[in-house]
Amino acid sequence: MPRPTGRVLTLLELLQSGGTRTMAELADRLGVDGRTVRRYVDQLADLDVPVESVRGRYGGYRLAPGYRLPPLMFSDDEALAVLLGLVAGRRTGLVTAGHTASETASAKIRRVLPRHVARRLDTLLESLAFTERPGAFATPDAGVLLTLADAVRHHRPVAIRYTDRDARRSERTLHAYGIVAHAGRWYVTGKDPGIGEDRTFRLDRIADARTLPGSFDAPADPDPAQRVLSGFAAAEYRHEVILRIHGTAEQIRAHLPAAVASLEEPTEHEPVPGGAPATAHRLHVRLRVERLDWLPPVLAALDRPFVIERPDELRDLVIAFADRLASHARRT
């Protein structure tokens, strides 16, 4: 009696969809009894397909982790979506593999695209522009990224080897809360138990990451993205700027996002800048910046009454900027 090849392939397709399939489910889908299912599994094993038997009440069969599936079949739209994702990720720095891996993956998909789809893709890429310069960012190591992701999910401490912006190397322990992609770079945020403080690290500066024994309790709502943005706003820079601005948080955030500035409610009764009504909403705005020359145009664009508490140098720059604007207006 010839082997029912079609049913064996159907069994393989069911197992490829992921998870563990019970004996009863497989028998029902294939229209055979349990003994026949076991015979089909043996036939897959003869073809070097690693089918694992799972014991227990909810046991059955599954494919071994890491098994390389046969080539995937993409529709035209799916192939375009994958290629555009590779191109956009490479252009904006949000890729986890090296430049070569991204290029070879794109080339493999392009080779099997129908001509009309390839022409559509080329037309799109020719008309597409990016505001970020290609290749401007370093990419993180894929192994480091996966190790940290596993640590985040299972609340396991990790040891990392890190090089800071001053080229100083150190080994640290981290309780990682989450991984964040921001402005073309990857970051991991969490707590350094050695100093008891929250820290944020750039992934491309982590040379090695390994999981340590034990576990930790993560905050109920760690919000990794907000922690990264708050860390940027509080980082040490050359100048500390403190402003009092009459306006809503939405108006201020439109020009000074969370990665740049932190907002605080006033703690005591204060005069409202610019002679605004006493009931007007006002906020303390704090920034730490390397340069001050970009702030006067931002404050002008904000177009809200403000007071500069410090530094005096910024006050001088704002006055000079206003004088230049007035001079240009008179000249016109």
- Residue 92 sits in the same domain as residue 52: no
- Residue 159 sits in the same domain as residue 217: yes
d(C-alpha 175, C-alpha 148), whole Å: 10
What tens digit of pLDDT does each residue of 94-139 get?
Answer: 665 555 667 777 777 777 677 777 787 777 777 776 665 555 566 7
Residue 279 confidence class, pLDDT cut points 50, 70, 90: very low
Q: According to the model, what pLDDT value does residue 1 have? A: 34
d(C-alpha 13, C-alpha 228), whole Å: 42
- Residue 320 sits in the same domain as residue 245: yes
Where is average pLDDT lowest: 53-62, 190-199, 206-215? 53-62
Average pLDDT of the chain is: 80
Q: Is residue 304 part of a domain?
A: yes
Per-residue exposure over 89-124, b if at least 16 CB sit within 10 Å of its own CB, e if not:
bbbbbbbbbeeeebeeebeebeeebeeebbeebeee
- Residue 120 sits in the same domain as residue 153: no
Q: According to the model, what pLDDT value does residue 274 have? A: 53
Q: What average pLDDT does this structure show over 222-243?
A: 76
- Residue 213 sits in the same domain as residue 270: no
Tell me: pLDDT of 167 over 70. Answer: yes
- Residue 59 sits in the same domain as residue 80: no
- Residue 57 sits in the same domain as residue 80: no
Q: According to the model, what pLDDT value does residue 275 have? A: 52
Q: Is residue 29 part of a domain?
A: yes
Range of the domain at 49: 5-63
Q: How many domains does the chain have?
A: 4
Q: Is residue 134 part of a domain?
A: no
CATH number, domain at 289? 3.30.70
Token pair, residue 78, equals 């799916």
- In this prediction the pTM is 0.49
Tell me: pLDDT of 259 over 90. Answer: no
d(C-alpha 105, C-alpha 108), whole Å: 5
Q: What percent of the chain has pLDDT over 90?
A: 19
d(C-alpha 157, C-alpha 211), whole Å: 6
For residues 329 and 111, which has the higher predicted lDDT (pLDDT)? 329
What tens digit of pLDDT does each residue of 138-151 get?
Answer: 677 778 888 898 99
